Amino acid sequence: MAVLAAGRFRLDLGRPLVMGVVNVTPDSFSDGGRFFDSKNAVSHAHRLIEEGADIIDVGGESSRPGALPVSVAEEIDRILPVLDGLKGVDKPVSVDTRRPEVMQAALRAGASMVNDIEALAAPGAIEAVAQSQCAVCLMHMKGEPATMQRQPHYDDVVAEVGSFLREKAQKALQAGIPRERIVVDPGFGFGKTAAHNFELLRRLKEFSSLGFPILAGWSRKSTLGKLTGRPADERLAASLAAALLALQGGATILRVHDVKETRDVIAVWQAYEGQAST
Ligand code: 9MG
């Protein structure tokens, strides 16, 4: 059985997993800072678990296009009370960060996974993960959140993203992070136009040859806003359509805001595939 090892957790990869998003930021594009207060964030996480989330992803720095970085101290102050509040939960908690200091503080506070939009590029990040037992998501991003949507260019987006992820996964393995702790993610919306995002989605199956579980994050993203003309809080239908297409393309982890509805999509997809529902 293929598993994702994340701290004390072993997640069965024989069925799609849902990663529920909890943004502890005042300026998130998708939920407008509703969970900036740590009590709200903790109760939101509990709600997502009740709705069927397999992993909770807690982030203290916005990565929306144009977002400016926050200090390490501020990022830690935002997420630690939330991680403390989630200590008793029986699901792995992931921390969405690119800073090694934040990773270490989060892992000490009980996080079991690191979701790094920079694929462990910061000095010390790879060591922080290697020295723990946590899982890691290595995501592709071209540029920085502040500037990444300024005319991104690729000759072949699938080939470039694929070789980036292959190289980052190789580095992680060489640093001593076992294969069963690694997830890769093409980084939909991170330094990519709508055309790039759809090319990646259409050819997502090609990433299976990397040999790692694939995480896909389409939930409420601006590409869906451009396509439908709808604001972030009205992109549910578009997000669910993209989630289904990602499942068809071989994604095993869906990073989403709307857990309950995504679970329904998975149930329909599993029935279509002739699999028992989860
Ligand atoms: C933090 N974050 C926002 N979007 C994301 C995505 O698509 N993938 C991952 N891994 N993290 C994301």
Query: Which tens digit of pLDDT belongs to each residue from 224-273?
Result: 999 999 999 999 999 999 999 999 999 999 999 999 999 999 999 999 99
Q: 134 by DSSP, 3-state: which? A: coil
Substitution site in 255, 256, 257, 262 for ligand 1 pocket (most atoms within 8 Å of beta carbon): 255
Mean pLDDT, residues 10-23: 97
Number of alpha carbons in the 13 Å side-chain half-sphere of residue 142:
19
The reported pLDDT for the residue numbered 149 is 73
- Mean pLDDT for all residues in the chain: 94
The string of pLDDT tens digits covering residues 128-168 is: 999 999 999 999 999 877 776 778 889 999 999 999 999 99
63 close to ligand 1 (CB < 6 Angstrom): yes
Of 5-9, 51-55, 69-73, 117-121, least confident by mean pLDDT is 69-73
Catalytic residue among 78, 181, 192, 255: 255
Check if 226 is active-site: no
- CA 165 to chain CA centroid, Å, is 15
Distance between Cα 95 and ligand 1 center (Å): 11
- Rounded to the nearest 5 degrees, what angle is found at the Cα of 92, between the Cα atoms of 120 and 115? 20
Residue nearest to atom 3 of ligand 1 (CA): 63
How many whole angstroms separate alpha carbon 24 and alpha carbon 40? Answer: 9
Distance between Cα 217 and ligand 1 center (Å): 6
Beta strands in 159-275 (DSSP E): 182-185, 215-216, 253-256
Of 88, 78, 138, 135, the C-alpha closest to 110 is 88
List Cβ neighbours of 113 (8 Å cut-off, separation of 6 or more).
6, 7, 55, 57, 92, 93, 94, 95, 134, 135, 136, 137
Check if 168 is active-site: no
218 close to ligand 1 (CB < 6 Angstrom): no
Is the pLDDT reported for residue 107 higher than 90? Answer: yes
Q: Which atom of ligand 1 is nearest to the CA of 188?
A: 7
List Cβ neighbours of 108 (8 Å cut-off, separation of 6 or more).
none
pTM over 0.85: yes
The reported pLDDT for the residue numbered 29 is 62
Q: 210 by DSSP, 3-state: which? A: helix
Catalytic residue among 91, 168, 181, 221: 221
Is the pLDDT reported for residue 20 higher than 90? Answer: yes
As given in the structure block, the two tokens for residue 112 are 């079991």
Substitution site in 185, 219, 262 for ligand 1 pocket (most atoms within 8 Å of beta carbon): 185
As given in the structure block, the two tokens for residue 170 are 């190789």
